[in-house]
Amino acid sequence: MPDQITSRKNEIIKQAARLCTSAEIRREHGLYLVEGARLCRDAAQSGVKIETLFYTAQAEEKYKEYIASAADSAQTVYEVAPHVAALLSETKTPQGVFCVCKMNRAVREVRTIPVGRHYLALENLQDPANLGAILRTAEALGIGGVILGGSCCDIYSPKALRASMGAVFRLPFFLAPDMLCAIKLLRDMNFACFAAVPDAAAQPVTAVNFHNHPTVLIVGNEGNGLAKETIQACSGRVTIPMLGRAESLNASASAAILMWEMMRAESGGVSVGN
């Protein structure tokens, strides 16, 4: 029988709750909070180090197998009262299952990217739900990894974690605080770097032959797109051909289409350089 926590003033609970609301605290402690029975199980099955597992008695009855899987990997397990669990939840219909996980301390830098795969890069993306959705799609399509450039939102935020459906635990991601330097390095590594822009004058992504080079497609901020300097530093510009009246797409929708075309890698397209 695990120890029980019945007070919202419990320091263990208060610290876990802070992980929900502050990226700074997450980085300081190297920890993040995962909410949801399936997501906690996915964390365990993906080899994530689980420091603490919390669940309510009601959740144990409903999600017994999920909780058992996460509990096997957790260092500490607590049963919490429903009013205590509410302090940890950011969803309208909480399941009552949470785990505190350890971040991977080994920060992946762009220079460590394995050559020979296709990648997606995101510059200054601000919506964590968009980020999570993009990561989920990237994993599903077999992208080599995602580069987080500039001031992207926190990949370990609760919204990003939920939207990624576990992709955060498995998909390699790389940090590029200076996107211009990252692009230069990538091109030196023989990657073709393409800026995704909503411009009919740019090369249609459907016409690119992605067989010729490992490629990085770069998607920009939801409101402002890519910085001009980033576009100029790339090998070229690509766009998604659109027949309707819409001028642009949501960042996650754009990324999904671009990644699909990149991984489909049809022959007969236009050759590209680095």
State how far the Cα of 97 lies from the Cα of 40, in Å rounded to an integer.
8
Q: Which of 160-164, 226-230, 270-274 has the lowest mean pLDDT?
A: 270-274
Domains of the chain and any CATH numbers = 3-102 (3.30.1330.30), 110-264 (3.40.1280.10)
Query: What dihedral angle (degrees, nearest 10) is formed by the CA atoms of 195, 183, 125, 51?
Result: 140
Give how far Cα 93 sits from Cα of 27, 173, 221, 249, Å: 28, 30, 30, 30
State how far the Cα of 93 lies from the Cα of 113, in Å rounded to an integer.
39
pTM, entire model: 0.90
pLDDT in tens, 53-106: 999 999 999 999 999 999 999 999 999 999 999 999 988 889 999 999 999 755
Give yes or no for residue 200 having a pLDDT over 70. yes
Give how far Cα 92 sits from Cα of 9, 35, 96, 191, Å: 22, 12, 11, 43
Alpha helices in 189-248 (DSSP H): 228-233
State how far the Cα of 51 lies from the Cα of 269, in Å rounded to an integer.
49
pLDDT in tens, 240-258: 987 766 666 788 999 999 9
Q: Is the dihedral of CA 118, 129, 15, 71 positive or negative?
A: negative
Confidence of residue 268 (pLDDT cuts 50, 70, 90): very low
pLDDT in tens, 128-156: 999 999 999 999 999 999 999 999 999 99
Contact 205, 239 (CB under 8 A): yes
